[in-house]
Homo-oligomer: A and B are copies of this chain.
Amino acid sequence: MKVLGIIVEYNPFHNGHLYHIRSAKELVHPDYTVAVMSGSFTQRGEPAIIDKFSRAEIAVQHGVDLVLELPFVYATQDAGGFAFGSVGLLHRIGVVSDIVFGSESSDREFLVETARILHEQPWRYQEILHVKLKKGLSFPNARKEALLEYVSEAGILDPERVKNIERSNDILGVEYVRSILRYGSSIEFHTIKRIGADYNEKDFKGKLSSATAIRKLIRDERWDLVKEAVPMRSYEVIRREISQGRGPVFWKDLDLAYMSRFRLMKREDFSRIHGFVEGLDARFEREVKRSKSLKDFIERLKTKRFTFTRLRRMMLHAFFDLAKDFMGRVNEKGPQYARILAFNENGRKLLKVMKKRSKIPLISTPSLHKKILEDLKDGLEVDEELYLRMFELDTLATDVHALFFKEEDQRVGDRDFRERVRFIRRGFS
């Protein structure tokens, strides 16, 4: 049985995503396709433009058989944490045979060798890394330079190829492969070349515009252009959600909620939070008072090392109070459950197999998530505390996300307990 796993955000689902699904299927010829998708907040540290339920619905309408939610604690982390969570989820549900991800270089040897070094941490590599860090380089830069030096010393790879790690998508690729190694997973991986606009390309590029560009079009209500950039069914669901007042949600909507909270946080409060290193706690405390808005605040914090994305993630983690020790456990233990967001008839069949093979509990009815823990079947090993807190954060993230819906009536919380899993009778792919 071939089961294809993909890792996505679909914020929102566009033509490039459809191309990716089709290419991946051509490569693997799967019996089933399962997607792990970010929930209410994304890896950029931003709220998703429309809710996770509708994004999952769109995914199933375009060829995914089953959509699982990547827990908030992984979805909003850097490449390492994001990959550890998403690959972990695909691994632990026990059915995925192949993962396909986009890669700038599509240089398989480079991905594998680099991932292996990062996974195995050879003594000589660690030594070089240590020297680089002592020289005052940031961790990502020290790592890159150490990798470069190590591969040229050891004659493993052409150092030129290691430079590829700078490209964001290849960093993620390396981390996916590294996570496969870390879980000791037998999942095969494949890469496909990305087509169309760059991730961060902000401008409309016709049919193959980036998600960033499309979000901007949605903000500006350029529906004619949005229609060009996303498949028809995606367009319809986006319009439906927005016309009913469930979105669009933007990072800037968080302005006063973030600022009023952060103005009350002290250096010690920030320093407890995951990701706060080297004096950033004091900078947050100081600059939040000097800033007149969230935009002003992040611009004051921005440095070469602390990019906008990284800072947005840190702010999100500070707002949700994700402490260092908790995130340490998150990043040691991996996902503790598979939350089902949407599926079709084919997905239903896959779920039957998953029920037997999954190493983690499947959650399709959130109100039963505590009961699931009590009735845990043999062979499943769950860290109960982590399971409960991790799932709670998914629901809290959705509760906070909903507050920024345009229509007040839509802002009621506990959406995870009110929205049903979306079953889509017929998709098209």
Which residues of A are at the interface with B, using a C-beta cutoff of 8 A?
A: 254, 256-257, 259-261, 263-264, 288-293, 319-321, 396, 399-400, 403-404, 408-414
Contacts and interface: CB of A to CB of B under 8 A. Distances in A.
A263 B396 contact: yes
Contact of A290 (B259, B290, B404, B412): B412
A290 B288 CA distance: 31
Nearest to A400: B260
User: Which A-B residue pairs are the 5 nearest by beta carbons?
Assistant: A289-B413, A257-B260, A292-B411, A289-B414, A263-B399
Contacts of A292: 408-412
A393 to B, nearest CB: 9
B320 A264 contact: yes
13 contacts: A256-B257, A256-B404, A257-B257, A257-B260, A259-B411, A260-B400, A261-B261, A263-B396, A263-B399, A264-B319, A288-B413, A289-B412, A290-B413
The residue among A261, A291, A321 with the most chain B CB atoms within 10 A of its own CB is A261
Contacts of A408: 292-293
B257 A289 contact: no
A140 B321 CA distance: 37
Contacts of A411: 259, 292-293
Contacts of A320: 264
Given A290-B413, A413-B289, A403 B261 contact: no
Given A256-B257, A260-B400, A263-B403, 12 more contacts: A257-B257, A257-B260, A257-B261, A259-B411, A260-B319, A260-B403, A263-B400, A264-B321, A264-B396, A289-B399, A289-B414, A293-B411
A51 B293 CA distance: 19
A412 B291 contact: yes
B264 A403 contact: no
Nearest to A260: B257
Contact of A263 (B254, B321, B413): B413
Contacts of A261: 257, 260-261
Contacts of A410: 292
A256 B403 contact: yes
Nearest to A396: B264
A350 to B, nearest CB: 32
Contacts of A260: 254, 257, 261, 319, 400, 403
A289 B411 CA distance: 9
Nearest to A414: B289
Contacts of A412: 289-292
